Amino acid sequence: MNPDQYCVFGNPIAHSKSPLIHAAFALQTGEPIVYDRRLAPLDGFALAARTFAAEGGKGANVTVPFKLDACALATELTPRAQAAGAVNTLRFDGDTILGDNTDGAGLVADIVRNAGVKVAGKRVLLLGAGGAARGVVLPLLEQGPQEIFIANRTVATAEALVAQFADALAHSGQLRAGGFAQPDGVFDIVINATSASLAGDLPPVPPGIFGSHTLALDMMYGAQPTVFMDFAVQHGAQVRDGLGMLVEQAAEAFYVWRGVRPQTQDLLAQLRSAL
């Protein structure tokens, strides 16, 4: 019997660690899958995804810049994908294309399981209001935080995000929006969902948001800590990069496809030492 085919679509895509991660999950779980990278043309994602499905592909991960295209392609969306307005996981099942978003679940799993920090009852500061931020609001809210403050350069974008989730969830007391300079007091969890780290920049946040019990997490990762992580450490916070989130969102996608949840700890340690 031939193994089931999966892939990750992106542009660029050569750097993706997803094939390595899913190969490790397949080995660990005994699930018969093969997984590769596919470069989709910037204006040709839908055709590339449909072609892959027609060739017998069972599912795909979707990375930058196609998460909105994947959302439009899906014939059915999970509640968390609907809330995010973006899709990073597709499952092909006959004529049905299920769109899901596992980013938020991956982030929450990394914070709660791997870092051992509860979100329930905590003050959470989310920096950025773009696609990366949008994907994690619902899973964070579901953990029952005291509040989530969404801070963004363009305040109107953050306010629109708050309005979107306030309508959907009646959690309005838990959600606030403002500019980067506005968050007040120390937060328990600070998440950098901006792309500033890619350019070696820092969101202009007040240092007073960090305390000795703060977990500061950057969604980016690399061999060295990001500028945001360095800044947080200087002001007393504990820090984490986005590698754990990457592995956990992949485990969640694997579960969506196969109904089996892989263990992540050993793989995360392996990837960390290889950076």
Report d(CA 82, CA 41) in Å as an integer: 25
131 belongs to an annotated ligand binding site:
yes
129 is in an annotated binding site: yes
Q: Which amino acid is at 53?
A: A
Q: Is 255 annotated as a binding residue?
A: no
| Residue 35 annotated as binding site | no
Q: Is 130 assigned to a binding site?
A: yes
Q: Is 17 annotated as a binding residue?
A: yes
Pick the catalytic residue from 58, 67, 118, 122: 67
Say whether 221 counts as a known binding-site residue.
yes
Residues 105, 92, 129: CA angle, nearest 5 degrees: 35
Buried b (16+ CB within 10 A) or exposed e, 141-170: bebebeebbbbbeebebbbebbebbeeeee
Active site residue 67: yes
Residue 242 in marked binding region: yes
Burial 32-69, CB ≥16 within 10 A → b, else e: ebebebbebeeeebeebbeebbeeebbbbbbbeebbeb
Q: Is 16 labeled as ligand-binding?
A: yes
Query: Who's near 252: CB < 8 A, 6+ residues apart?
Result: 89, 102, 105, 106, 109
- Please indicate if the annotation marks 103 as binding a ligand: yes
- The binding site for shikimate comprises 16-18, 63, 88, 103, 221, 249
| Residue ranges at the known binding site | 16-18, 63, 88, 103, 128-132, 219, 221, 242, 249
Active site positions, annotated? 67
Q: Which residues are annotated as a binding site for NADP(+)?
A: 128-132, 219, 242
